[in-house]
Every structure is written in C-alpha cells, then in structure tokens.
Structure 1
Amino acid sequence: MDRQQEFVLRTIEERDVRFVRMWFTDVVGSLKSVALAPAEVEDAFEEGLGFDGSSIDGLSRISESDMLLQPDPSTFQILPWRGEVEPTSRMFCDILTPEGQPSSADPRQVLKRQLGEASDMGFTCYTHPEIEFYLLESSELDANGRPRPIDTGGYFDHVPDGVGQDFRRASVTTLEALGISVEFSHHETGPGQNEIDLRYADALQTADNIMTFRTVIKEMAMQKGIHATFMPKPFSEHPGSGMHTHFSLFEGDSNAFFEAGREYQLSDVARSFIAGILHHAPEMTAITNQYVNSYKRLWGGGEAPSHRSWGHNNRSALLRVPLYKPGKGQSARVEYRGIDSAANPYLAYACLLGAGLKGIREGYELEEPTEDDVWNLSTAERRASGHVPLPGSLHEALRVMEESEFMAEILGEQVFNSFISNKKAEWEEYRQVVTPYELNKNLSIL
C-alpha cells in the first residue's frame, strides 16, 4: 500500500468519515457516484469495486458488463457542504476491465493516454479554465417560457446586496476547501451570468477539478434557493457560457511555448501546437460543443468564435495568444475559445492536446494571424481571409467527426462509437420537436 492510500485510510479513521463517494463520468461527462462504506475502501484500493458497466452510457456492452472502479487516492477530499456530522468524502476513479487493465471506454483514461503521449515527447501539459454559467431564480420558466436570471447585472458589475456576490464567495471558499485554487471570479456580460477562473494545474487535475466545480456550483446554488445552469445558450439575446481554456507545455521547468525575440514570443513548438489545433478544430467540435444548444452559442454572437482563426490578443479568434508581459516567459500560453461549459472536460482536453501534439510531431505550418474582428467580416471577406467555418449544427459536427481518422485514434473505437451514437440519438430527438418559434411564426398564417 502506498503513502497516499495510507493517508486516505488514516484520514477516514481520524475524521470519522462515514461515506466515501466514488466519482467517475460517462461518455458525455455526466458525473456518476457510488457511496462506499469506510471499511471497504482498503479492498477497493487493492482489488477495485465491481459494477455493471452496461448500465452506464458508453462503458460496455451487455455481454461485457462487469467493470471495476479503481479509486485514485490523490483525489481524496472531504466534501465541505455535507457538514462535520457524519462527514462525506470523495475520490475520482479510473475504470478497469475485470482483468485489472485500464478500460478503453473510460473518458479519464482517454485523457491519460494523451498525457502519456505528451510525456513521451518530453512535455507536461498545464491548463487554466475560465468557466461561465448562469444563475437563475429557479429551473422553472416564466409565463413567457423564458428563464429568470437572478439579476440584471453586466460585465464586472458590482450588484449591491446581490445574491451573486454571496454565491461566488461561498463557492470560492468551498472550492478552496477542496484544494481547488481559484484565480478570480466576477459577474459576466449576461444577466445572472457569472465566471470563476481556476488556477492552472496539470490537465488531468484540471478535468477532475471541473467535474468537482460543477458539483460545487450546483450545491451552492441549491443552498441559496436558486438554480445554476451550464447550458451553453439559455438566452437567445445574451451571450452563451463558454469555458475558454489556456494551454501551455513545459519541458521540465521551462515553458516550451516561449522563445524570446520571436514574433509574439512564440516558439516553433507553440506555433506547431496552434497549427495542430486549428487544423483539427472542425473534427473535434462535436466534442467541445456536444449539445444541440451548443451551436446557438457558437453561431449566436456574444464573443463565441465560429470560424477557424488565431490572433494575438484577438478575442474574436478561435485561438488567442494572450498579451505577453515582459519578464513573464514562464506564463506563455495559448487560449482555445471554442469550448463551452457543458463539454466533457476529459474528452475535450484529450482532443485539444492530441491535436496540438500531432501538430508538433508532424511539423504543421501555422497560417498568418488575423487582426480582423472576425465577427464583423462578411461571409465573402471571411472566405477570402481563409477563415473556415466550424460546423453549424450538432448534425454537421457529427458528420465531420465521423469521417475523422484523427478523432477515432484519439478517442479509441469504443468512446468514438459510443459518443456518436449518443449524440445522433439527441439530434434525432431534437429534429422531431415542434418548437415554440415554429408555432408562433407559422400557426396563424399558414
């Protein structure tokens, strides 16, 4: 038994932890959980915890239903909102086959594989997400069928006596109690819209942190009698919720993206990494934007990038190189702005990292940056500038993904097929629905 496992068992005993929740995700990133009695944790470390994988979307077929949950002791934390009486803890789990091998159907394992590829190339990947979400009075709609935001504030607004301020304070305090460092938090552009930025961490820890973050936000909202949603575009006239993520690669203690004296201080490694992401962006859009509603955000304006482009400090670009600060070479990074807050972070980060690494391995050439405001260009101007559009709907994104050898390789056959099957079912369900828009527009005149 290693030291981390011993620490977990000792903490469970000293804190009188009564429930140990084993967390993992299905193929679309929905959090799954099973509560383990403290006395069973040691066996779970040694042998794993058996469960029926066929009942979890994308994990296994009926004929291969037996799976094991292997808790990761490095992710052990006490859940603060459960209180000090009969405390509850959690650990993220890897999914194993009955033979004890990593399951190819585990989204966490998909990301681990790409981090292994990065390690083999001499890199460590760090990520820093900016997570947006809306706070609503409740999950119920108003008389006009619209969500009800908790306030009418805008970008960086200080709302006196606002529920949002108390909410953000409680959420940040809870996140930090869970060992998740927060860089800053503020009111975003839309009414009731908020953003909390997590401090950089390695990509696997960041993905785990995002899953914990979503749970904390939901729990804190319920405690205050409101509703939090990560729906990409709950309001047609207000910005959607993105999850802009900053990436950097390190070789030991040195930032591999930084090279003094080069344009934008970007090394060849950084330029090829950017080129790889841009080249494969359309193929992975179904992963970074996995819901029907995601495309209302991508194509609905409000700072969501819908065309393949990159630029220096250009917030209309799909991939942005933030402003360089003299003497801060270690902070060199690139920001991908196409991902929304409802993505499965394990699969999204695996695809983005995999695309960047492929760009480095194969020496992809980076196109010229754009200084244009891509949102305000005409279709002809975008075409002339080489700004290729991302898929315009989930249906189109799945078609592009389905034809991609790159995506099949990154995700593995089982995750690739399960994800496409899940999302095709969503699209089929959606396209049969008669929407209020159609009724309001056509019922009285046709």
Structure 2
Amino acid sequence: MTNGNPTTAERDVLETIEAEDVDFLRLQFTDILGTVKNVSVPARQAEKAFTEGIYFDGSSIEGFVRIQESDMRLVPDPETFAVLPWRANGESAAARMICDVYDTSTDEPFEGDPRYVLKQALERAKKLGYTVNTAPEPEFFLFEEDEDGRATTETADHGGYFDVAPKDLASDVRRDIIYGLEDMGFEIEASHHEVARGQYEINFEYDDALSTADNVATFRTVVRAIAAEHDLHATFMPKPIPRINGSGMHTHMSLLTEDGENAFHDEDDEFDLSETAHSFLAGILEHAPAITAVANPTVNSYKRLVPGYEAPVYVAWSDRNRSALIRKPAARVPAASRVELRSPDPSCNPYLAFAAMIHAGLDGIERDLEAPEPVRENIYEFDEEKREEYGIDTLPANLGDAVAALEDDDVIYGALGEHVAPKFVEAKTQEFEEYIVEVSEWELGRYLETF
C-alpha cells in the first residue's frame, strides 16, 4: 500500500474477493527445496495482509531460520492473486497469492527466501540493461492409486509421444488441468503425451522470469490437485520408472533490452544469435556442473541424467539436435530467438534454478566469453575418445559430485546468496550421504544369493 491507501492492484484484489465470494486466502511461498508452503487466512484479512503482512514461525520451514530467530512476515504480491479452480458444489471460493518473505528483526526482505534470490538475479540483469524471459516445459507422470489412495507406479495409459486416445487415456485429466490453469491466468501454448507411458507435458507462454517461476510453483500444485480429483497421482519425480525416459523441465531463455528488443537476435549471424547470446550461452556451459546441483537437486535426478534416455549429459550446444546440453531452437521471428537449457528437471526449486542460470549467463556476458562451435552430430553416438577430441565434458554423475561442483563455483554458489547457499549444500549433502548408505532391492537381488 502507498501511504496506507491500497494500490490499484491491491484494490482490484479486494474487489475480486468480494465479487467471487472468496472466503479464504492461501498465502504461498517456497522453502529452499522448492516445496510450496502456505498460510491460510480468512479473506477478510486481505487488507491487513497488504498493510501489515502475516506473521509465521520461520523455524519450522526447511532452510529458513533457527528457533531463536523464528518470526517471519509474509507480504503478498497482489499481481499473483488467482482464484483456485476447484471447489465443492455450493462452497465459496478460495484464492492464492504468492508472497515475499520479510525478516521481522530488520523489516527487510529475507535473504533465505528463494523468490528474493531470483529477484537479486533479475536486479543484476537490470543493471546490465536487460530483463529476462523464460519458458519452461515441465513434464510429469500420472499414476493410478491403490485402494487406500496411495500412489502406485501403474501408469494411467500406455501411450507414447504425441499419441491420441484411446492410448492417451489421460487426455480428459489433462484437459481439466489446462482449464484450471487458464482459470488462474495461465496462457497455455501446448499439451501432449510425452515419450514414456503415463508421461505428459504442458507448456505455458514465455514470460518474465519471476512470473514464470511463480507459475512453475503454482503449476505443480494445480496438476496434483486436479489429478487427485480423478483418483490419480501426479508426480514431478524425475525418474519414477526405471529404464524409460524421465521427466525434464527444458527451460528456454532470452534477454530483452530496455527498448524491448530481443538481445539474443542477430540476423547476420549464422545461427541468428547475437554476440550477447553467444556469451550468455558460454557462461551457462562454463558453469553447467554447478548449475546441475540446483537444477537437478535430488538423488533421483541422476537416474534421469544418463546416456540413452534422451536426457542431456554432454556439456555442448547445438543448433540442430537435442543430444547437447543447450539447444538453439528454430525461431520464426526475431523476437523468438532464444536458447534452451535441457538439463533441469521439475523437482527443482524454480526460483533458485532460474537464478543460477541467469547469473551464469550474465557472467558470460560480463566476461565476454566465447561459445565453442556447435556440435551438429549426435553426441549420444560418440565414444569417449571422440568426446575428448571435441572437448565435450559430461555433467556430474550424481548429487554428491554436483554439490561439490557447486561449492567450487563462486559464481553459482554466490548466486544463491549467503543464507541459501550453505543451507542448500547442507541439505543436499545430507540427502546424498543418506542415499549412499542404503542398500537397494536391486543390490539384494543381484548379490544376496550370489556371494
């Protein structure tokens, strides 16, 4: 609010709450691992939320604060207001707003808030004269539930890439998800069955990076909620089924200049990419190992990042094929020139992942890095000797190696900030250490009776 008076956006929210018969507001934010949290308040508290914020105990949130410094404050962003698309017959509506987290001891933005981390990356871009646009392609699986309502790994259909009914039996669910997202203000570009059985992709339009990160967090919540209405379980786990393709979140990126022009486009370049784009791309390639810890943040992420299942593991770029880490998609118009990072998966915290990518690219621009030549051959078919000949490295093979790369990379570690970086490393180191001391069913089946 300005001088105690509602801004235009806040006034619009208050009017919509009344018009839509909204009873409850879900004030959302994420912890450092990307899990969506929310504080539910009666809608009549909306004006208070704008003027004073809503207080909560930050010590119970992963990676936030210690018990002795636990009071935090949520400040809702009115631009993120949306009525939730599900309600029982006759019930009043609920709505959500995404919040910024403030430290009550300083009344300043909380450095451990992932949304703040991304805002800092965007501020760096702004100082260089750019705004950042992103467009992710999150994939997910739909699984059947058992008689107790627990998730199984039985897929809802047996379709394949771009299949249609009757093989794509979840098309009705996907339609309801799209309608729900559109009701919340999403601009949906496309939806289709992915390569693996039971796997789907829904793409939403290019937008500024902050709005897109907000949308990814919302997207996961909406997909799960609407799938549950159909007695299905939606998962963004990168590799829930062995020996088939996992779920990625390919992320398209571009920069706009202050006059709204695409800073990545140059029609005189062989690839229609400007020097700025080449340097941005080179920055991402240089920092790719460290980015991997943030964009592929679970032990399971590395079951997807293996050769043979269309996931990018080779640190290279291409304008023709999808075997490289970065692809330059075809652009019909100058405004569409962009680069696509293919390694992220949908288990990542979108705020932190986008921040890492942006800082890496901006580092490339500031240092005027030169991108290597694109690899136009299928890298999946290269042997180790040929990859060495081309100077192609591979991404970290597991979460432990990725976290080590993050700790060794001042740019990406610094991108996460003094609060988030050590907390993130601590959480992910613990996760990997817990994993490596476990004995899997595969190991028991392979070795128990053999040795």
**TM-score band, normalised by shorter chain:** over 0.9
1:414-429 equivalences in 2 (<5 Å)? 414-429=419-434
Distance (whole Å) between structure 2 residues aligned to residue 128 and residue 336 of structure 1:
10
Residue number in structure 1 paired with 2:445: 440
Residue number in structure 1 paired with 2:3: none
TM-superposed CA distance for 1:39, in Å, is 2.3
Distance (whole Å) between structure 2 residues aligned to residue 258 and residue 344 of structure 1:
29
Distance (whole Å) between structure 2 residues aligned to residue 351 and residue 330 of structure 1:
24
Residue number in structure 2 paired with 1:92: 98
Residue number in structure 1 paired with 2:37: 32
Task: Give the partner amino acid of 2:297.
Answer: Q
Q: How many residues end up aligned between the 2 structures? A: 441
Q: Which runs of 5+ in 2 are unaligned?
A: 1-5
Distance (whole Å) between structure 2 residues aligned to residue 256 and residue 135 of structure 1:
38
1:103-182 equivalences in 2 (<5 Å)? 103-138=110-145, 147-160=153-166, 162-182=168-188
Tell me if the contact between 2:141 and 2:235 (Cα under 8 Å) persists in the aligned partners: yes
Moved more, 174-183 or 81-90: 81-90
Q: State yes or no: 1:21 paired with 2:14.
A: no
TM-superposed CA distance for 1:16, in Å, is 2.2
Task: Give the partner amino acid of 1:155.
Answer: Y
TM-superposed CA distance for 1:201, in Å, is 0.8
TM-superposed CA distance for 1:161, in Å, is 7.4
Residue number in structure 2 paired with 1:53: 58
TM-superposed CA distance for 1:399, in Å, is 1.0
Task: Give the partner amino acid of 1:282.
Answer: P
SS in 2 for 1:148: strand
Distance (whole Å) between structure 2 residues aligned to residue 427 and residue 66 of structure 1:
31
Tell me if the contact between 1:244 and 1:336 (Cα under 8 Å) persists in the aligned partners: yes
Distance (whole Å) between structure 2 residues aligned to residue 445 and residue 330 of structure 1:
61
TM-superposed CA distance for 1:146, in Å, is 7.6
Distance (whole Å) between structure 2 residues aligned to residue 92 and residue 342 of structure 1:
19
Distance (whole Å) between structure 1 residues aligned to residue 47 and residue 107 of structure 2:
16
Distance (whole Å) between structure 2 residues aligned to residue 272 and residue 140 of structure 1:
54
Residue number in structure 2 paired with 1:195: 201
TM-superposed CA distance for 1:50, in Å, is 1.0
Distance (whole Å) between structure 2 residues aligned to residue 40 and residue 158 of structure 1:
46
Distance (whole Å) between structure 2 residues aligned to residue 415 and residue 5 of structure 1:
30
Residue number in structure 2 paired with 1:287: 294
Tell me if the contact between 2:296 and 2:348 (Cα under 8 Å) persists in the aligned partners: yes
Q: Which runs of 5+ in 1 are unaligned?
A: none
TM-superposed CA distance for 1:147, in Å, is 1.7
1:137–1:55 distance in 2 versus 1, CA, 3 Å: same
SS in 2 for 1:274: helix
- The normalised TM-score by structure 1 is 0.96
TM-superposed CA distance for 1:407, in Å, is 2.1
Task: Give the partner amino acid of 1:291.
Answer: T
TM-superposed CA distance for 1:210, in Å, is 0.6
Tell me if the contact between 1:139 and 1:147 (Cα under 8 Å) persists in the aligned partners: no
TM-superposed CA distance for 1:216, in Å, is 1.0
SS in 1 for 2:108: coil
Q: State yes or no: 1:253 paired with 2:298.
A: no
TM-superposed CA distance for 1:63, in Å, is 2.3
Task: Give the partner amino acid of 1:196.
Answer: I
- Cα-to-partner distance string for 1:46-67 (whole Å, 9 max, x where unaligned): 1211111111011112222111
**How high is the sequence identity, in percent, across the aligned residues?**
45
Q: State yes or no: 1:210 paired with 2:235.
A: no
Distance (whole Å) between structure 1 residues aligned to residue 147 and residue 426 of structure 2:
30
Tell me if the contact between 2:315 and 2:392 (Cα under 8 Å) persists in the aligned partners: yes
Residue number in structure 2 paired with 1:339: 344
Task: Give the partner amino acid of 2:340.
Answer: E
SS in 2 for 1:236: coil
2:80 to 75, 79, 87: 75
Task: Give the partner amino acid of 2:226.
Answer: M
Moved more, 25-34 or 230-239: 230-239
Distance (whole Å) between structure 2 residues aligned to residue 140 and residue 119 of structure 1:
53
Task: Give the partner amino acid of 1:289.
Answer: N
SS in 1 for 2:324: coil
Residue number in structure 2 paired with 1:409: 414
Residue number in structure 1 paired with 2:354: 349
Distance (whole Å) between structure 2 residues aligned to residue 283 and residue 409 of structure 1:
11
Distance (whole Å) between structure 2 residues aligned to residue 100 and residue 82 of structure 1:
36
SS in 2 for 1:258: coil
Q: State yes or no: 1:390 paired with 2:395.
A: yes
1:324–1:4 distance in 2 versus 1, CA, 3 Å: closer
Tell me if the contact between 1:264 and 1:324 (Cα under 8 Å) persists in the aligned partners: no
Distance (whole Å) between structure 1 residues aligned to residue 214 and residue 345 of structure 2:
16
Q: State yes or no: 1:239 paired with 2:242.
A: no
SS in 1 for 2:170: helix
Task: Give the partner amino acid of 2:394.
Answer: P
Distance (whole Å) between structure 2 residues aligned to residue 234 and residue 112 of structure 1:
32
1:137–1:403 distance in 2 versus 1, CA, 3 Å: same
Distance (whole Å) between structure 2 residues aligned to residue 38 and residue 222 of structure 1:
25
2:378 to 373, 378, 403: 373
Task: Give the partner amino acid of 2:91.
Answer: V
TM-superposed CA distance for 1:171, in Å, is 0.7
TM-superposed CA distance for 1:324, in Å, is 3.6
Distance (whole Å) between structure 2 residues aligned to residue 313 and residue 138 of structure 1:
40
Residue number in structure 2 paired with 1:319: 326
